[in-house]
Structures are given as structure tokens and as C-alpha cells.
Chains A and B, each alone.
Chain A
Amino acid sequence: MNRMNLIQGVLCLALVFGIPAAGLTGEPLDQLKGTTDKVLSILADPALKGPGKAGERRELIRKAVDERFDWEEMARRSLARHWAQRTPEEKREFIPLFREFLERVYADKVEGYSWNKIHYEEERIDGDYAAIKVKIFTAKDQVIQVEYRTRKKGNNWMVYDLSAEGVSLVSNYRTQFNEIIVKSSYQELIKRLKAKSVQN
């Protein structure tokens, strides 16, 4: 009888705590965590350290990130209303250029960063969209709040925007690109993006 009670108690506990716990880490968060862990393990891999390995390491990180980031959606959202005015060729040219530009700007930061701990705060799923809040603790004990916005594409939740401390990447580039295109032209924007990619 006593054993029966115990089993029931455990089952009740599992029902009460098990289900919300499962709900906390849904698919979008798991997938994002998978990619982040992959990048972190590449960064921590001693076999990939050293100046001679920098290229190989960058290539591995790029591959891991590509699996999780929807560059086309990011480019489309950043160009916003100017996207519709582009020809298919221009769109094809723009996506890798934008991706390369982001890589040039942020890769050094990712590689040089002393990540201490990453805490996955919360996940909000709304149909095919999900927002994931993450707290990154740096070695200097600073906290950076990052929010990823993802959209379901097939079985994958792909990141199309991220914001740090409430400043969104897409919003930032949308404003900048719009300014450049309105003031001069789309060609000028391409020229600047190319110049930035070569510069670094």
C-alpha cells in the first residue's frame, strides 16, 4: 500500500513539474541551443587554435551558423520596401554580400569574445514564429541580453533577426539602407557593402 502511494506521489510530481519543464524548452530553443553549443565547442577546440587554423575554424563556424540563420529573410527584411523593387539577379547578388558583410563585422567579435556562460531565459512561441531570450555572461561578469527571432521553415526554426539590449539588427540596417538608397541609390549601397567587405 505504501509503495502504491509512493508511486502515485511520484507520478503526480512528474505530471505537475514534468510537463511545464518540457514546455519551457521547446523546439526553437533546443535548436538554437544546439547551434550555439556547436559554435562554442569549435571556439573551445584546442586542435583549432593557433594562427594557422584561423581559416579552418572560421569555415566551421560559418557552416554551423548557416544552418540556423535565414540570410535571405534577413536581407529581405533589412532592405524592406526596397526589396520588392530589386530584380531577381540583384536579390541573388545581395544576399551573399549582406551575409559576408555581417560576417566581416561580427566574426571577430564572436571569435574574440570570452563567453563565460549562456543562460536561456525564455521562449515565446506564436504559431510559426518564436522569440528566444538569452542572457550572455561575459568573462568580465557583464550581462548582455540578446533576443533571437525565429521562424519555422520546414522542421527548422531559422533566425531572421536578433537584438542585443533592445537594439535590433534588422531594424538598424533597415534604417541605414533606407537612408543610403533614398539619399543616393541602391548601387551606392552595394558599393559601400563591397568596400566594407574588402576593407577588413
Chain B
Amino acid sequence: MKKYNLELMVGLFLIAGVLCLGYLSIKLGKMEVFGAKGYEVYAIFSNSGGLKTGSSIVIAGVEVGRVKGIVLEDYQARVALTLSRDVKIQEDAIASIKTKGLVGEKYLEITPGGSEKIIPPGGKIRETLPPVDIEELISRLLFEKI
């Protein structure tokens, strides 16, 4: 009887361990099992240069969502964004791809607009700005001097 109890305990412990591991991997991998908390909008960029699935979306430096996916559509980048439900984006808001520091990772910044119209779930952020290619700008400066 006593031996049976011990084995049961070990089994339960193992199951608990596996569950913890599963939870951790989902959390760390930023995967969503039961659907994301928030709503989705999309934006079309002429160039998404360096933006990745999972890149953060910020307003005034505060993270408000993540990039859900990027696909090619009509030779432009269609970026799907998941935004937290309490963040409202105006129709004239500008989405721009920025770099953390000079060579850091890319993120998406939204500059809120002043329109009364709010973009509904599934809607489109019309105003977008591709990342500024610093390398190209530098090379252009250099070449002009020659």
C-alpha cells in the first residue's frame, strides 16, 4: 500500500513537471494557444526590412502589441498586427518601422493621429513608413563628396 502511494506521487510529480514545461515553452516562445488577447489590424509597407513575427509594436515607447505575421502581397509587405484591446488606433495614425539604436532590432512604432474615426478589428492602417536605410544614406553622403 505504501509503495503504491509513493509511485503515485512520483507519477503526479512527473505530470506536473511536464505541464510546467509545456506552459513555459508556450510562454517563452510567445505562442498563442487559446487565441491572442486583443484584436488584429494590418498595414501595407513598401518594405518591411528586418521586421519579424513577434517584433514589438509601441506607442510612445510603451509596448501595445506584437507583429503577428508578414506576407508578400502584390509585391508589398502585408504586416498583421495584434494590438491589445484597450488601445484604439485612429484612422490617420502612422505606422513606421524603426530601429532600436543604430544597428539594433526593428520594431514598429505607431504615432497616434487626431481623427475621430477608429480603425476597427481587421481594419487597415493606411499611413505607413518603411524603415530608413541608414547604410544607404551614409553611402550617399560619402559618394557625394567624391
A84 contact from B116, B132, B133, B140, Cβ within 8 A: B116
Tell me if A149 is interfacial: C-beta within 8 Å of chain B.
yes
Residues of chain A with a CB closer than 8 A to B113's CB: 77, 80-81, 174
Residues of chain A with a CB closer than 8 A to B126's CB: 126, 129
In the complex, which of the residues B92, B130, B133, B137 has the most CB atoms of chain A within 10 Å of its own CB atom?
Answer: B92
Question: Is B114 a contact of A80 with CB atoms below 8 Å?
Answer: yes
B114 contact from A79, A126, A149, Cβ within 8 A: A79
Tell me if A123 is interfacial: C-beta within 8 Å of chain B.
no
Question: Is B92 a contact of A77 with CB atoms below 8 Å?
Answer: yes
- Annotate B110-146 by CB proximity to A: 1 below 8 A, 0 otherwise: 0111101000000000110111110001001000100
Residues of chain B with a CB closer than 8 A to A61's CB: none
Residues of chain B with a CB closer than 8 A to A140's CB: 144
Could you tell me the distance between the alpha carbons of A171 and B130 in the complex, rounded to whole angstroms? 12
Residues of chain A with a CB closer than 8 A to B112's CB: 80-81
Tell me if A44 is interfacial: C-beta within 8 Å of chain B.
no
Could you tell me the distance between the alpha carbons of A77 and B90 in the complex, rounded to whole angstroms? 11
Question: What's the minimum C-beta distance from B39 to chain A, rounded to whole angstroms?
Answer: 20
**Cβ < 8 Å to B, chain A residues 151-200:** 161, 163, 165-168, 170-171, 174-175
A-B contact count (CB 8 A): 51
> Which range holds the interface residue count of chain A?
20 to 34
Question: Is A149 a contact of B132 with CB atoms below 8 Å?
Answer: no
Total interface residues on B, CB under 8 Å, equals 19
Question: Is B132 a contact of A81 with CB atoms below 8 Å?
Answer: no
Question: Is B140 a contact of A142 with CB atoms below 8 Å?
Answer: yes
Tell me if B82 is interfacial: C-beta within 8 Å of chain A.
no
Question: Is A84 a contact of B114 with CB atoms below 8 Å?
Answer: yes
Question: What's the minimum C-beta distance from B141 to chain A, rounded to whole angstroms?
Answer: 11
Residues of B within 8 A of A (CB): 90, 92, 94, 96, 111-114, 116, 126-127, 129-133, 137, 140, 144
Closest 5 CB pairs of A and B: A80-B114, A83-B114, A81-B114, A171-B94, A166-B132
23 pairs, CB–CB < 8 Å, chain A vs chain B: A77-B113, A77-B114, A79-B114, A80-B111, A80-B113, A80-B114, A81-B112, A81-B114, A82-B114, A140-B144, A142-B140, A142-B144, A165-B132, A165-B137, A166-B129, A168-B127, A170-B127, A171-B94, A171-B96, A171-B111, A174-B94, A174-B111, A175-B111
